Amino acid sequence: MNQILGLRCTLCGAEYEAGGTRYVCSRHGDEGVLDVVYDYSAIQRQISPARLADNREHSIWRYLPLLPVDATEARRLAEGTILSTVGWTPLLAAPRLAAQLGLKQLWVKDDGRQPTASFKDRASAIALMRARESEFKTITTASTGNAAAALAGLCAAVGQPNVIFVPRTAPQVKIAQLLVFGSEVLLVDGTYDDAFELCLQAASEFGWYNRNTGYNPYMTEGKKTAAYEICEQLDWRVPHRIFIPVGDGCIIGGIHKGMHDLLAMGWIERMPKLMGVQAEGSAALVDAWERGLDAMQMRSIDAHTVADSICAGLPRDRIKALRAVRDSGGAFIRVSDKEIVAAIPTLARGCGVFAEPAAAAAYAGLVKAVEQGLIGADEHVVVLATGSGLKDAAAAIKSVRQPSVVAPELSEVRRKIKETASD
């Protein structure tokens, strides 16, 4: 890992060595989230766009020199398992949706097609590698569902014990996914924020490796790989805007970090505008951004939304999330639950991507930004579809009309078809 120079506090700039159990700044405690700092000239000796063009590793591991893991160990552990299939999700052109919105170019990055069906596999893969390198016996995380499913699935692939804290109210399919993968699951009778606090305490009490978002600085490093992929899949032509659903803010912070790396190495020439989309009932970052508050001035709100993956009362990665939007000249946008649910079939019918509510929220945010005149007609736009619609069947069912029932007779079908045609 000679490419990492160290860790730096996002609040005070204090620097630390990148050791196994260093998570946050000593001076700032849980709030002092760290950045991982790289030696870009060392990295550039190992990787370049030209060399990537010949690389047949179609996963996040194609960017190994830019990742905080031991390359040999990572390759060995991933080989032949679902770990080797994390990342390099398709970037799909969506011309019909673009036309509906009056945009020239629109792509949807489909991270529902990760091994456990959400974007979180990118971060959990890094957590697993780092825990293995430091020989931790157990890994733990708190989660609204997907981060846990990602950790559970990837751990199952290599027989790694793990303990998961999820709010009791998480969608049933997500909880089932954890149990099926054989994780030790603790359903917390409280919110995600309660589950998070409990998990932090348990990790330090029992010496478990802590995967928590907005706490473990390496999660940003897993999530940044989507930024590399977007740019590489577009032949290094940077899109103008990327729409990203935001709960804790780790994904948007990760995309920002990834773009920052590419800029630092001179692989791209400008930072795309990062558009953070939150649900109206869980919009702590939109509020802070509109009111010009910094992360330390934010207070926990009572969050609720149909999009459980972006339900966060006090976003854990708020420092990086606000920085991402401010530095990139982007914006935060709020969308209602109704708009989120409506976006599920719109996105699915417009480009064939079936998204869970949080992922559909990114598209709802794009619709809103277009309505508000925030986007120029010649801009190139990417929407991050962060999770599969199969993750939350109940929400999907709410988003559509019930189908009609027919008797098993052709005449019935004829009658029905006529009816629909005259609708």
Question: Footprint of Zn ion on this chain (CB under 5 A)?
Answer: 9, 11-12, 14, 25, 27-28, 32
- Residue from 316, 300, 255, 309 nearest 279 by CA: 309
Residue 235 burial by CB count (10 A; 0-12/13-18/19+): exposed, middle or buried?
A: exposed
Q: Which is nearer to ligand PLP, 272 or 387 (CB)?
A: 387
Q: Which is nearer to Zn ion, 32 or 239 (CB)?
A: 32
Per-residue binder mask for ligand PLP (CB under 6 A), 211-240, x = binder: --x---------------------------
Q: What is the nearest approach in angstroms of ligand PLP to the Cβ of residue 223?
A: 7
Token pair for 379: 């801009």
CB 170 within 8 A of CB 178: no
Q: What is the nearest approach in angstroms of ligand PLP to the Cβ of residue 361?
A: 8
* HSE toward the beta carbon, residue 250, CA cutoff 13 A: 29
Q: What is the nearest approach in angstroms of ligand PLP to the Cβ of residue 247?
A: 3
Q: Which 377-406 positions form the footprint of ligand PLP (CB under 6 A)?
A: 386-387
**Which position among 7, 250, 381, 382 is part of the footprint of ligand PLP (CB under 6 A)?**
250
248 binds ligand PLP (CB under 6 A): yes
Neighbour count for residue 236 (Cβ, 10 Å): 13
Neighbour count for residue 293 (Cβ, 10 Å): 16
118 binds ligand PLP (CB under 6 A): yes
> DSSP assignment of 20-71, as one string?
TT--B-TTTGGG-BEEEEE-HHHHHTT--HHHHHT----SGGGGGGGSSS-H
Which of Zn ion, ligand PLP, none does residue 366 bind to, with CB < 5 to 8 Å depending on kind?
none
Can you name the residues that pair with 332 across neighbouring β-strands? 276
CB 63 within 8 A of CB 228: yes
Considering only the stretches 114-122, 179-187, 392-400, 411-419, report the one whose residues sit in contact with ligand PLP under the rule CB under 6 A: 114-122
Q: What is the nearest approach in angstroms of Zn ion to the Cβ of residue 261?
A: 22
146 binds ligand PLP (CB under 6 A): yes
Task: State the virtual CA torsion across 408, 412, 418, 421 in degrees, nearest 10.
Answer: -30
Q: Which is nearer to Zn ion, 13 or 80 (CB)?
A: 13
The sign one gets for the Cα dihedral 130, 175, 339, 247 is: negative
Alpha carbon 164 to its chain's center: 18
Q: Which residue is nearest to ligand PLP (CB)?
A: 387
The sign one gets for the Cα dihedral 220, 63, 162, 9 is: negative
Can you name the residues that pair with 274 across neighbouring β-strands? 242
309 binds ligand PLP (CB under 6 A): yes
Q: What is the nearest approach in angstroms of ligand PLP to the Cβ of residue 144?
A: 7
Which of ligand PLP, Zn ion, none does residue 12 bind to, with CB < 5 to 8 Å depending on kind?
Zn ion
Q: Which is nearer to Zn ion, 27 or 415 (CB)?
A: 27
Q: What is the nearest approach in angstroms of ligand PLP to the Cβ of residue 269?
A: 27
310 binds ligand PLP (CB under 6 A): yes
- Residue from 189, 186, 274, 179 nearest 226 by CA: 274
Distance CA 78, CA 84 (A): 5
Q: Which is nearer to ligand PLP, 239 or 245 (CB)?
A: 245
Task: Give the number of residues in contact with ligand PLP, rule: CB under 6 A.
Answer: 19
**Which position among 62, 120, 257, 323 is part of the footprint of ligand PLP (CB under 6 A)?**
120
CB 335 within 8 A of CB 283: no
- 15 by DSSP, 3-state: which? strand
Q: Which is nearer to ligand PLP, 23 or 267 (CB)?
A: 23
Q: What is the nearest approach in angstroms of ligand PLP to the Cβ of residue 382?
A: 15
Per-residue binder mask for ligand PLP (CB under 6 A), 168-207, x = binder: ----------------------------------------
Distance CA 105, CA 349 (A): 17
Which of Zn ion, ligand PLP, none does residue 14 bind to, with CB < 5 to 8 Å depending on kind?
Zn ion
Query: Tokens 């091994």 appear where?
Result: 115
31 binds ligand PLP (CB under 6 A): no
CB 339 within 8 A of CB 364: yes
245 binds ligand PLP (CB under 6 A): yes
Q: Which is nearer to ligand PLP, 59 or 114 (CB)?
A: 114
**Which position among 9, 78, 156, 246 is part of the footprint of ligand PLP (CB under 6 A)?**
246
358 binds ligand PLP (CB under 6 A): yes
CA angle 159–77–156, rounded 5-degree value: 25
